[in-house]
Amino acid sequence: MTTPTWAEKYRPKYFTDIRGQGLAVEKLRSFLKKPSQGKAIALHGPPGTGKTSLAYVVANESHAEIFELNASDLRDREKLNEILKPATEQRSLTNKGKVILVDEVDGISEVDRGGLDELISLIESSSYPMIITANDIWDKKFSELRKTVELVQLKEIDYKTIKEIMTEILRKEKKFIEGDILTNIAIKSRGDLRAAINDLQIAANMPNPSDIIIDERNKEIDIFSAMRLIFKGKPNNALLKLFDSVNMPIEEILLWIEENIPAEYSGKELAKAYDMLSKVDIFKRRIYRQQYWRFLIYETAFLSYGIASAKKTEKLGFTSYKKPTRILKMWLNNQRIARKKTIARKYAKFVHVGEKRALREFPTIKLFLIKPEVQKELGLSEEEVEYLSKENN
């Protein structure tokens, strides 16, 4: 890729560049002054709050090199030795310290105990300071790991600080966006500074920056054009907003993309694309588990930009994409049942009957649920209303 995104360009280099995390920085500094043997630091907290950045700052400030391990390295003991050994040897040559970073341990799956065990023993034996980052360090699977780490929590950054940072970036980029729009972006980001900076960059390149805060449902494109944009061209920032204009739930888009990856990609590209899909899954699980909707950003980013970046070169020619039939049917069916359940629940609450009974009597209830004034009274959502108008069950 050519030019770095603003989020990358303005990534903190020194402790003083880290904003809105006073307590965490203090705690980290004092830990670094007297590190306790056999313990690592775990920087944990929501996305875009400075975890990875802090790890790099630590290395930079102590004039050390950063040495990054990922979840898959940990799974493979042999490979791990292969990577770590040269790292140990290098030290004598350059005489430079090292900081070992295991970024985003959330990616290690629960089933794959080996990786986590390996990480724990690595922490216990490492002569280099180790930093781990995680979104959810309180996940059950980390109960053993938690005993070998010093917890440093990063918080969501408050919107005023986010707004300040955005204003500084705009000044450096010699761009201007109205204060109200900045406030809106800052609030919308819910403490995720990366998301805010990304939105800011997109807004700054729009003819009318205030459009960033409106949901552009009117500019709908179909799923086939969306797939063409993802599979054929170079990855670009506009892709991050692509699904906003596709009138289809993200789950369904995922199935279409999954179905059609092999139609465009092969070999290494194929593997990379599937790797992106697995990342989508990771975030999807986090979203459901933590009810943290902000993660949707990552889900869509991996699905659009991520899949687009799996290719080596742009793709020419026409590809006829297939409809993901079987799984799509299963999924749609689940959706239908889910919708029916939420409607039944609202109804049951309203008329004080049990939910089960409401479901059982659904065909009858439906007859008057069709009336708009009833729908309004029950507070049915757009999707629920749509369900009632379409389905004949």
Ligand X SMILES: Nc1ncnc2c1ncn2[C@@H]1O[C@H](COP(=O)(O)OP(=O)(O)OP(=O)(O)O)[C@@H](O)[C@H]1O
Q: Which of 21, 46, 48, 52 binds Mg ion (CB under 5 A)?
A: 52
- CA–CA distance from 321 to each of 222, 224, 258, 318, 361 (Å)? 12, 7, 11, 9, 41
Please choose which of Mg ion, ligand X, none residue 53 contacts, taking the beta carbon within 5 to 8 angstroms, the exact cut-off set by kind. Answer: ligand X
Say what angle helices 51-61 and 22-33 make with each other, to 10 degrees.
Answer: 40
DSSP state of 141: G
When the beta carbons of 25 and 255 are compared against ligand X, the nearer one is 25
Closest CB 52 distance from Mg ion, rounded Å: 3
Q: Are 378 and 359 in contact (CB under 8 A)?
A: no
Start-end of H helices in 302-392: 307-308, 325-351, 355-360, 362-369, 372-378, 382-390
Among 198, 208, 248, residue whose Cα is nearest residue 224: 248
Tell me the closest approach of the beta carbon of residue 105 to Mg ion, in angstroms.
Answer: 11
In the region spanning residues 177 to 206, those forming contacts with ligand X, defined by CB under 6 A, are: 193-194, 197
Q: How far apart, in whole angstroms, are the C-alpha atoms of residue 49 and residue 61? A: 19
For residue 20, state whether it binds ligand X (rule: CB under 6 A). yes
Whole-angstrom Cα Rg for the chain = 24
260 binds Mg ion (CB under 5 A): no
Question: To the nearest whole angstrom, how small is the minimum distance from the Cβ of residue 146 to Mg ion?
Answer: 19
Least separation in angstroms between CB 210 and ligand X = 23
Q: Which does 193 bind (CB under 5 to 8 A by kind): ligand X, Mg ion, none?
A: ligand X
Within 30-59, the residues that bind ligand X by CB under 6 A are 47-53
Cβ 219 vs Cβ 245: under 8 Å:
yes
Write down the least CB distance from residue 128 to ligand X, Å.
20
Residue whose CB is less far from Mg ion, 52 or 260? 52
Beta bridge partners of 367: none
- Closer Cβ to ligand X, 21 or 260, answer by number: 21
Binding to ligand X, residues 112-151 (CB under 6 A) = 133, 135
Nearest by Cα to 101 from 132, 128, 75: 132
Report the residue number whose CB is nearest to Mg ion.
52
Burial class (CB in 10 A: 0-12, 13-18, 19+), 106: buried
Binding range to ligand X, per CB under 6 A, among 15-23, 31-39, 300-308, 359-367: 15-23
Does the protein bind ligand X through residue 21 (CB under 6 A)? yes
Provide, rounded to whole angstroms, the least separation between the CB of residue 134 and ligand X.
8
Q: How far is the CB of 50 from ligand X (least distance, A)?
A: 3
- Cβ atoms of residues 232 and 224 within 8 Å: no
Question: Footprint of ligand X on this chain (CB under 6 A)?
Answer: 7-8, 10-12, 17-21, 47-53, 104, 133, 135, 157, 193-194, 197
